[in-house]
Structure formats: structure tokens, C-alpha cells
Structure 1
Amino acid sequence: MVPRPVSRTSPPGGVGRRSLLLGTAAWCATAAGCTRGTGTPAAAGARTPAEAAHATAPAPSGTLPAAVPWRPGPGEIEPSAKLAAVRLVEALGTWPAGRGGARSAAARAGALGIAAPLAAEFAAEAGPLTPVADQAVLRVIYAQYGGLLPDTASVLIPGAQSTRTGSAVREGGTTVDVRLKRTSAGWAVTALHPGRPGPATAPGASARAVLAQPRIELPPGAAADIRSGAVHESVLRAMLRLADTYRFSVSVVRSGHPIDVFGTGRPSDHPLGRAFDVWAVDGRPVVDPATPRSLVTGFMRAAAAAGSYNVGGPVRLSGGTRPNQFFSDATHHDHVHVGFAA
């Protein structure tokens, strides 16, 4: 089985009026005055897991952290596609005091150069990105592919969002599946699918252990998935086993992931609660050429040994205890997929 996602609610083939063109020089329209995405050399790259954790840490009581625009680092495939997705999500999820609500969200999208009717549509699709609050700052943890084909893509964006209402500051966040299409002028956003993990339940022993394990770095959306009780026990046990050897940064578990393997009609294991993706191992991004290949392949083999029937990554490994247990494609150039059978 060679995955990668596509939602059953994928946009039609043409871009039409549901497209949004965003280049690498797009502005991050935020209250904190983000700089242009091209303002830092590519060598500086995306934040490391430690930097991402620092960037998502809450500010002093009653204030919000500064908005820090995400940038692609070395080794990314089609970085302009990721930037197109990220800049819109950052703009929708961040606003200054008194500028909440759908109309202001549409205005922030419009500030990126989007026509007013289309900006209003994206604002309406934003859902969990635009909760009721006086002020908000969204920080992108990583931008990972949920699918990458020659002319279409899914970019999965786990984010941490701080909101302030009155003097109360709340920490939250979600994962957004952003759909794009390649046009003659570049990559264009066609739709947003924010994750909705569901209400928290009383977690079982394995879920509690995962949530408490500091060697497993979970974005807000993935942590909410685990608290919802919708993540399979095999996933939780594998995470704990891998944490005995590695410190790893999860990008996506269940919510915010395409329903189907991208470009196919085959159900993905993620929405069923039977898979998780990892974007960094021991503080080293999977996508970075400077990350030792042996670290990534060792993690992939350890995931298979932990019970995964379907391990994808930047390298297709040989061997395994099951036929085609390992796979690789452009989508998995930036993360390791760990899937489990029913």
C-alpha cells in the first residue's frame, strides 16, 4: 500500500474562482507585523522542534506571544506551495485587538491580494482558526505534505494558537488541511479543511502516558485527538515504544488529515485513528539534508518493529516482516508515516 491522501471533499479539477494565488513574497497579515516570508535566507530555514516549542510557549500572563512567520528550510520540495498555504492560515488565525469575526478575517485574507468574494469564502471555511476572541496569534509548527502530485497538493499545517478575551489568555490550536492547485502563475489555494478533534473523554492508561511523555512532542491538534479517545491503542503503544529510544515531533495524528490517500479513493488510516506522522526525530527535521539518513531510517525500522504495517518516509527501505512494509514518494520526503492495520 503506497499512501497519500485526498479528501472525499476535494475541490473539482479546475481552480476557477475558488483559487488563491500566493507567492513566496506574500505578506503575513498579522497584528504583530510579520515580515515577508523571504526575509530570511533559506539556510535559516524552518524552526527546529526546540525553536518551535519556544515559539509556541505562552507569553507572560495577559499578553500574547509575538507572531513569527514560518519559513521553509533546506531540502523542501515545492516550498512555494507550502508558503502559499501557510501565509493564508497565518493571516486567518492571527488578529489584533478588536478585529475578530468573519468580516475581519476576510479583510486579512484580502490583504494578501485575494478578491473580496473569495476572501469571504476562505474566512467562512476557517472554522476553528477563527474562534470568538478579542485577539489571537497563530504560530505554525510545521507545514507537511498530506499529498503532492504534479498539479495538486495537500499541505497539512499543525498550529498553536493563543487567544485573549478580556484579560484571559487561552492556549489552543488545530491542524488545517490546505488544498492547492498548480497554475501557470504558481500554486493556488483552493480550499481549507480545519481539523475538528472532537470533545475530550477520560483518557485510558496509554493515552495518559503519551500525553505525559516529554519525548513525544505533540501539536495541539494531535494532543486533542488523543484526548478524544479516537486514537487506536496500537498507535499509542507504538509511540510509547519509540519514545524509549527517540525524541520525536508529531505533526498529524487523526484530525486535519485528508480522508482518502491523496489522488485515490482509498481510505487513509489517519482519520480512522490508526496512524501518525513525524516531522522531526531527535530534534532533526526529516526533510533537512543535514539530518543523518541513518537517524531517519533507524526510526522507520523501529516503527515497523513497533507493529506498523505501513511505514513511509524519504527512503524506501528493503526488508521488513510484511510485503511492501516500507514505501517512499514525494509526499513523504518531509515526514515519516507510521500506519497500523485494523
Structure 2
Amino acid sequence: MPGTTPWRPGPGEAEPAAKLRAVQVVEAIGAWPEGHGGAAAARSRVAALGLPTALVDQAGPLAPAADQAALQVVFAQYGGILSRSASVLVVCRQWTRRGGEVASGGTTVDVRLSRGAHGWTVDALRPAHPGPPARALPADTRAALSDARITLPPAAVADLRGGRVHSSVTRAMRALARSHRIEVSVVRSGHPLDVFGTDRPSDHPRGRAFDVWRIDGHAVVDPSTSRSLIERFMRDAAAAGSYNVGGPVLLTGGGPGQFFSDATHHDHVHIGFRA
């Protein structure tokens, strides 16, 4: 089994305690040593965090039947952050061992939290359900999947292989990859259905958006990352056809409402399309 390291929030994070709480429950459910698999053992690990053990029943693909599991959180990104509630999208890779066979996979979990008198607690887990692979894929999708300058986590790979991501998304990925190395966090599955805190449908579940958390090896959330790099990338995303580009920097210019910035997009760049 591969070695893993616990994910911890770094500098520049907004509400790092919320992200840490979300990651802790995903790590507790999704990894276990030999002999400690199953729901009962997972409930014990969750209880040790002081969280509701019923969360284990919502884990879905995060808790497969296996003798042993290792989990590496790639990134924890906000799906939404308000004063007393949050959605943290925990992007992870997972390895499971059954007998002598090790399989690799992973998922993205939308962890819902609320803040009370004693800090952040986890209320619900909503793991990604990308669906089955399509029998045939468009050329742009195949090219994005094979592009070495585009890094996709497991749920995003499954989204593209499922054939329900619009070609505007995969064309933009490829266009941006000509100038940048991009690391995608979320495409379709694992993202809230509505823009967090509203009843307005998100472009993500409709396969019309993707998020990038690292550009040319530099995390968007890291204060040491060049603001000019992020600004250039956001403008490149608009030039690639996005009508809705959000990030930690509020840019001028573009069409009406084309650029936006808020606390949720402090840690990634959102790139959305109408079709």
C-alpha cells in the first residue's frame, strides 16, 4: 500500500478549522489498517472525533469492502462558505487491498458543516456519483483525458469518461493547458447541486464547469502564489469561452458579470460555461 500523509490547511485558508474538520472525517472513514474495516470500526473512528456515527451510513464509495485501505486527500476546496455553514469538497485518492490485490480509485465528498458554540461540526456527507462510463467519447474529451498537462482527480476522470461533460469544458481545459499546467479539483460530480446558500442551479452538476486549484505547480490559495499568475489564468479562461470566471482576485473588464470573487472562490478558480 502506498504511504500517505494527513492533509492539513496551509497559509491563506479562510476558516481553516472547517476544512480540517471535513478532512478528518473523510480520512477516518476512508482509511483503515488490516483487520479494522467495516462499518462498526468506522463508527468508532468517527466517534473518536466527536462526530455523529451516522455519517458512516452516508459514506458510499468512500467505504468499500476491503481488508485494508489508504487514503490521500489531494485538496479540500470550498463548495460554499457562509458565516455559520459550509460545504467542503474533499478530493481524495484511495487504495484498497483485498487479499493480495491492490486497487486504486478515489472520490470527492461534499462535506456539509455547521458552526455552533463549540466550533464546526459535520452534518452530512455527499459523495460523488459520476455514473458509468460512456461507450464512446468525443475527441476533445479523449484528448483532455490523455493530456499530461491536465491533472484530474478520480471523480473528475470518471465524470469525463461518463460522457456527460460539455465539450466547452474539455476544449477550455485543453486551451488552458497549452499555456499552463493545470490541476483540476472538481468537474461535475461531488459539487453542490445549487450555488451554496441559494436555490440557483450550479453549472457543475450539468457538466458545464470545472475548478482549478493549482496552476503551474502553485496553489491558488497560497499567499505566495503570484497574483499576476492567477489574474493571467483567469483572463485566459475567459478567452477560452467562459462566461463566469471566479477566483480570489476581482478582475476588471470582460462582459457583464464575467469575473467575480468571493470567500468561496478564495481557494480555486471557477470556470463556467452556458453550454
Q: With the length of structure 1 as denominator, give the TM-score of the two structures.
A: 0.79
Give unmatched runs, 5+ long, in structure 2.
Answer: none
| In 2: Cα distance, 1:97 partner to 1:199 partner | 30
Counterpart for residue 98 of structure 2:
165
Deviations 1:272-313 (CA, angstroms, capped at 9, x unpaired): 000000001000000111000000010000000000000000
Q: Going by fraction, where is strand more abundant, 1 or 2?
A: 2
Structure 1 segments (4+ residues) deviating >3 Å: none
What is the SS of the residue equivalent to 1:123?
helix
Counterpart for residue 50 of structure 2:
113
Counterpart for residue 213 of structure 2:
279
Counterpart for residue 248 of structure 1:
182
| In 1: Cα distance, 2:178 partner to 2:206 partner | 25
| In 2: Cα distance, 1:110 partner to 1:150 partner | 26
| In 2: Cα distance, 1:122 partner to 1:255 partner | 19
| In 1: Cα distance, 2:132 partner to 2:68 partner | 24
1:187 aligned to which of 114, 120, 129: 120
2:161 aligned to which of 220, 227, 230: 227
| In 2: Cα distance, 1:318 partner to 1:185 partner | 40
Amino acid at match of 2:81: L
1:101 aligned to which of 11, 17, 38: 38
Show the 5 A alignment for 1:8-87. Answer: 64-87=1-24
Amino acid at match of 1:162: W
Show the 5 A alignment for 1:257-296. Answer: 257-296=191-230
| In 1: Cα distance, 2:249 partner to 2:189 partner | 26
Amino acid at match of 1:269: D
Aligned-residue identity in percent: 64
Amino acid at match of 2:249: V
Give unmatched runs, 5+ long, in structure 1.
Answer: 1-63
Deviations 1:79-133 (CA, angstroms, capped at 9, x unpaired): 000000000000100011132222221122122233xxx21x1110000100111
Does residue 125 (structure 1) correspond to residue 58 (structure 2)? The answer is yes
Counterpart for residue 175 of structure 1:
108
Higher relative contact order (CA 8 A, sep 6+): 1
Show the 5 A alignment for 1:195-214. Answer: 195-201=128-134, 202-214=136-148
Does residue 309 (structure 1) correspond to residue 243 (structure 2)? The answer is yes
| In 1: Cα distance, 2:44 partner to 2:118 partner | 23
